[in-house]
Amino acid sequence: MKTITSVAIAGLMLGLAACNPVTDPTKGDAAEASAVTFAAQPDLADGVGALPRLVGEGAAIERINADLARIDGAVMGNACETGGGIERGVTQPMTGPGYVSFWIAESWYCEGAAHPSFDQTGLTYDLATGERVDWVAAAPGLQLVRGDATDRPATYVPSLSSSVLTTWYSRKMLASTDAEHLGDCGDVWTAESMGDTSFKLLLDAEEGGLSVQPEFAHVVQACADRVTMTPEEMQSNGVSAAMIEAVTAAHAAGNWAPKDGAEPAA
């Protein structure tokens, strides 16, 4: 299980993601054929990392890069009007075959605010079409409902809600063997407490499945562990077979970035 709960971690992500360029390590001829190469972009501002761009030709890659550029272009508009700062870190949980995904962690420190604001966004793109994955269609067994995007910018990534996903997440977390964490968060993780919870999803090659991040109120943000649905669980919940095959192959090939222990670029 993984979660991002501090600016220190977001800063680490930023430093690691600065390596330029990033080429996915692969194993074997099949994995090599599916490797995706990325080119890092200059920081948008001090401490504000940019999304990397895919290297290559074709309509799908152009479409993905255009969307990444739009997302980057909207970041500084979230800066504090009263003064303060913004930090942003980016990782790539899956870098092919079939799909690429990005995890973005942002934090704002606005003068006069009671506490910092944090936001984490997951993006998964289909390399065949260049479109963001529509999780409602890709995982029908989860019975996902997309959040309202009315009057939201094109860069907005709607959260998803589902009683099926809520029940799965609650059972996963309440089975935790971490007694201290369970004692702190057990009440938060009950299905009743999570009745109105929404989630963010993305393919995660490092963890080997579908990562699920709940959106909790700031006061219980420390309980918002990011949990991975295994390939077997993905299958039982009706996730696309092609998607399961792709993330399984990516996990075996080590297709994610940055790697543990990677050194930031000088």
* 158-200: pLDDT as tens digits: 899 999 999 999 999 999 999 999 999 999 999 999 999 999 9
pLDDT of residue 93: 97
pLDDT of residue 162: 94
pLDDT of residue 83: 59
Per-residue DSSP letter, 132: B
Tally the C-alpha atoms within 13 A of residue 87's C-alpha that lie toward its C-beta.
Answer: 17
Pick from 63, 34, 43, 68: nearest CA to 53: 68
- Evaluate whether residue 260 is within a structural domain: no
- Evaluate whether residue 266 is within a structural domain: no
Query: How many Å apart are CA 75 and CA 39, to the nearest integer?
Result: 19
Pick from 31, 39, 6: nearest CA to 257: 39
- Evaluate whether residue 19 is within a structural domain: yes
- Evaluate whether residue 263 is within a structural domain: no
pLDDT of residue 31: 39
- Evaluate whether residue 265 is within a structural domain: no
pLDDT along the chain (266 residues), means of 10: 36 36 36 71 94 96 96 80 78 96 88 72 96 96 91 83 96 95 96 94 97 91 94 96 96 91 45
pLDDT digits (tens, 9 = 90+) for 204-232: 999 999 999 999 988 898 999 999 999 99
- Evaluate whether residue 1 is within a structural domain: no
Count structural domains, the chain: 1
The residue range of the domain holding 57 is 7-253
